Amino acid sequence: MPAALTENNDNLVRLRGVVFKRGDRAILDGMDIDIARGKITTIMGPSGTGKTTVLRLIAGEILPSAGTVEVDGQNVPKLDRRALFALRKRMGMMFQTGALFSDLTVFENVAFPLREHTKLPENMLRDLVLMKLEAVGLRGARDLMPSELSGGMARRVAMARAIALDPMMIMYDEPFTGQDPITVGVIMKLIRLLNDNLGLTSVIVSHDVQEVSAISDYLYLIADGKVVEHGSPAALKKSPTEWVQQFLNGLADGPAAFHFPAPDYAEDLLAGVASK
């Protein structure tokens, strides 16, 4: 499948006017996103805004109701099974839970993509796996089972597995959520390191503002199915939009109201008395 050369060849992924509906609800309502090559781009937003949906659209797991999704010049929703599988081999994904295969050892988990898609001789495969494990610092854990790993270690193994086939792009689905500070630091370091050393393009979906701002090159803030704002972390910090400020600074009240809609407080309390 010849990769068509589009004008923006420095954007690996392009979403244009993407709409995704589940039933009547539009989870994504006209999204435009550009993921630049070789950079770390993060998609942030409140829970449930469809951040993971964007990743799934890029991977071709789901189809948009409208709009285009382009990866490396290829129109993802239109690809047939074979072409889609070929594209996916060049994408790595790290799931929120790690999603390691529970019946395989750490070594076998990382070796899995290599065994399935290449016919490399065993000793070469072994070296590759060990190299990937070394990159995430878990070469010594190669014979453990996933059930014996801590959450952070499991995610690192998942990262090693995601880079096993030397993809052009990695997607991280909530990599920091629920991890202790040390693990968060390790994963942050690894994401940046892998991106720069392997020349990857990284897409992170997260709502951990501090961590993500520290390592991202570009941010997209989405809410209600639309892109609210996008830019470098520094630019966004200076954004005049109130909601952006509330989100980035973690303020309890602002455009996203603290109080759930309710009738007037005084009236509500007195209503109990008046009904006598």
Partner 1 sequence: MTEWFRLVGARSLLFVERLGRGHLFLLRMLAVLPRVIGDFRLCAAQMYSVGVLSMQLIAVSGLTVGMVLGLQGYNTLVDFGAEQSLGQAVALSLVREMGPVLTALLFAGRAGSALTAEIGLMRVTEQLPAMEMMAVDPFRRVFAPRFLAGVISMPLLAAIFSALGVLGGVFVGVGLLGIDSGAYWSQMQAKVDIYDDILNGVIKSMVFGVVATWIAVFEGYDALPTTEGVSRATTRTVVHTAFAVLALDFILTALMFGGV
Cα separation, 127 vs 117, in Å, equals 16
Query: Are the CB atoms for 161 and 100 separated by under 8 Å?
Result: yes
- The distance of closest approach from Cβ of residue 135 to partner 1 in the complex, given in angstroms and rounded to an integer, is 18
Please identify which residue in 102, 123, 197, 275 interacts with partner 1, judged by CB under 8 A. 102
* Residue 89 binding partner 1, by CB under 8 A: yes
Task: With beta carbons less than 8 A apart as the criterion, state whether 259 and 268 touch.
Answer: no
1, 4, 75, 116: residue in contact with partner 1 (rule CB under 8 A): 116
Distances (CA, A) of 185 to 23, 93, 136, 173, 210: 39, 20, 13, 16, 11
**Binding partner 1 by CB under 8 A: which of 85, 143, 150, 214?**
85
Candidate ranges 35-43, 87-95, 193-201, 267-275; the one touching partner 1 (CB under 8 A): 87-95
- SS3 state of residue 250: coil
The interaxial angle of helices 151-162 and 181-197, nearest 10 deg, is 10
Question: Does 88 engage in binding with partner 1 (CB under 8 A)?
Answer: yes
CB of 204 to partner 1, least distance (A): 16
**In this chain, which stretch among 25-33, 100-108, 123-131, 231-239 interacts with partner 1, using CB under 8 A?**
100-108
Site string for partner 1, 154-173 (x = CB under 8 A): -------x------------
Interacting span for partner 1 (CB under 8 A) from 1-9, 108-116, 181-189, 230-238: 108-116
DSSP secondary structure string for all residues of 175-242: SSTT--HHHHHHHHHHHHHHHHHTT-EEEEEE--HHHHHHH-SEEEEEETTEEEEEE-HHHHHT---H
Binding residues for partner 1, per CB under 8 A? 59, 61, 85-86, 88-89, 91, 93, 95-97, 99-102, 112-113, 116-117, 161
